[in-house]
Structure 1
């Protein structure tokens, strides 16, 4: 019962900015009503949200995601950092061995409709 109340309180505290779709380079990040993020239509396997100023302030937050790569086999680690409403997404393909090359990129983020 207490968990349900905490979940409802967290969902009610989400700002409209938190529910906005964000475009970061080739990635589209969109949260659903439960708070989980979808990247290019794929639901995040793991996610962690850290607020830098105050809880519920998505204009100053860091969101770490791991999602299935929609274009190739494997996973992508992502970290979206938003400060004062300006976002930056860092993405890196998860390597399965140390001999594989490291593929990563950084993208500016903009809110979209």
Structure 2
């Protein structure tokens, strides 16, 4: 969690006491000083962190999260990919059965 906070902090180039935030389409991503990440006010559970180039290179990283869906029952799987300071969020509703349709989207992220 603390590495995620440091990574998000490096994206926004803010001081350690500041609040870090990204807007990715309809998703509002925030990190506090303790490293807790929230998406639209719901706490995100980090599933994995993959460094795309070198270890501890937070300018080139992929984070996989699972978050409670704020607008409907269920969960959302999210992949936040950052390359050279630009972030892209891929989100997909977790299906509970194969008969449900697949709902997913990709969003460019902006610093708030």
Q: TM-score, normalised by structure 2?
A: 0.79
CA separation in 1, counterparts of 2:81 and 2:39?
A: 15
Question: How much does 1:60 deviate?
Answer: 1.2
In the other structure, the counterpart of 1:4 is none
Report if aligned partners of 2:31, 2:38 keep a CA contact under 8 Å in 1. yes
Report if aligned partners of 1:51, 1:58 keep a CA contact under 8 Å in 2. yes
In the other structure, the counterpart of 1:20 is 20
How do 1:73-88 residues align onto structure 2 when only pairs under 5 Å count?
73-88=73-88
CA separation in 2, counterparts of 1:34 and 1:50?
A: 21
Gaps of 5+ in 2: 12-18
Bigger radius of gyration among the two: 1
CA separation in 1, counterparts of 2:65 and 2:52?
A: 17
Question: How much does 1:48 deviate?
Answer: 2.2
Say which structure is richer in helix: 1
**Mean Cα deviation higher: 99-108 or 24-33:** 24-33
Report if aligned partners of 2:46, 2:63 keep a CA contact under 8 Å in 1. no
Gaps of 5+ in 1: 1-6
CA separation in 1, counterparts of 2:27 and 2:77?
A: 12
How many residue pairs match? The answer is 103
In the other structure, the counterpart of 1:38 is 38
Question: How much does 1:31 deviate?
Answer: 1.8
Change (3 A) 1:57 1:20: farther
Question: How much does 1:57 deviate?
Answer: 3.2
Question: How much does 1:17 deviate?
Answer: 1.9
